[in-house]
Structure 1
């Protein structure tokens, strides 16, 4: 009976030590498996991690407090080879203001260098900025106290632009061909064209509304209204 106890105790101890060693192991890719020259100069530490994406600029979908904001290019950096990627922004105050964040109310942004790519996370208490590399999403969580009160689908003026220079034409057309047999096979052709033309140049918008009527070869054109406008 004494021998049985000793064997069981040793077996349990061996399993415990083996389990601890197994948990502590980290999968490492062996560079010797690569059939390349000068392997000593190859740094493949990035591939030993689950997140294989290197630092750089990625086009990502930005979600703010669970709501899709927009898709834009964001710079992601890595503080050290073992750290996760995190977002950073140049002109950070302008960028975060466009996100609806009350930057002017946060003292941590008073003396920031707008020419340097900065991490916003440590400057906004209680916030989180998680990069989902699989979905190319930047999930941002900001306490409501630091967010502007905005109507649904509100677009910040910092994101407005004048659009592109363009000529636009919208129209409606209808026509008919009528054959009347009771008056000696009389035929009538009529058509109606409604034109809504536009020209966009910079902030200026030129608009015209006109119509064209034809009946049996006779045409009548009317320019009903023309106007020009711009934002001020």
Structure 2
């Protein structure tokens, strides 16, 4: 969260948050904290920029105070299951053809549930073209992080990543 420091807002970064963000606290000598245990940033080498439009905080730190990174996977201390939530994305279209006098409908729904470490995702569509009606589920899968083995488990219908080759659909499970 942000708090008012004199005439400006400043992020409240606790010692624990800085450790989670990869800052080597032992390299920051003489850190000062306020009564809420937030680091007084004006007395530290840390600089920040806040972008209100996309609600992102960019924290800049000298490389000498960064914790070494051993792998491409984020440290499990910063893994966060987040909150339980329901997500919904949708799209709807209607078209009337004056030439043939036909109506066409298309609807797409993309629900999601976050429950503990699990993420359930689906993409389904419905269309009515002339007299042909069609319902289709592009994918439905459940996914979660596995901290102990620093992996992600996916179960259900999904597509492979397109990092190297074209994406292909699969039904089953994957462990990345």
Q: Report what 2:97 is aligned to.
A: 178
1:187 aligns with 2:101: yes
Q: Report what 1:167 is aligned to.
A: 86
Where do 5+ consecutive residues of structure 1 fail to align? Answer: 1-57, 63-69, 75-91, 107-122, 132-136, 181-185
What is the RMSD computed on CA atoms of the aligned residues? 3.9
Find the partner of 1:226 among 140, 158, 169: 140
Matched-pair contact (CA < 8 Å) for 1:128–1:141: no
SS at 2:83's partner residue?
Answer: coil
Q: CA deviation at 1:156?
A: 6.2
Q: Report what 2:116 is aligned to.
A: 202
Partner Cα separation in structure 2 for residue 192 and residue 170 of structure 1: 14
Matches within 5 A, 1:62-73: 71-72=11-12
1:151-174 deviation digits (Å, cap 9, x = unpaired): xxxx86534421221221212222
Q: Which has the higher helix share?
A: 1
Q: CA deviation at 1:195?
A: 2.1
Runs of 4+ in 1 over 6 A off after TM superposition: none
Matches within 5 A, 1:110-125: 124-125=28-29
Matches within 5 A, 1:40-119: 59-60=2-3, 71-72=11-12, 94-103=16-25, 106=26
Partner Cα separation in structure 1 for residue 113 and residue 64 of structure 2: 43
Find the partner of 1:141 among 45, 52, 56: 45
SS at 1:231's partner residue?
Answer: strand
Partner Cα separation in structure 2 for residue 175 and residue 166 of structure 1: 30
After TM superposition, the score normalised by the length of structure 2 is: 0.50
SS at 1:187's partner residue?
Answer: coil
Structure 1 residues 61 and 157, CA gap change in structure 2 (3 angstroms): farther
Q: CA deviation at 1:211?
A: 1.1
Partner Cα separation in structure 1 for residue 141 and residue 63 of structure 2: 44
Higher mean C-alpha displacement, 160-169 vs 205-214: 160-169
Matches within 5 A, 1:12-31: none
Q: Which has the higher strand share?
A: 2
Where do 5+ consecutive residues of structure 2 fail to align? Answer: 35-39, 47-61, 147-176
Matched-pair contact (CA < 8 Å) for 1:166–1:201: yes
After TM superposition, the score normalised by the length of structure 1 is: 0.40
Q: CA deviation at 1:204?
A: 0.4
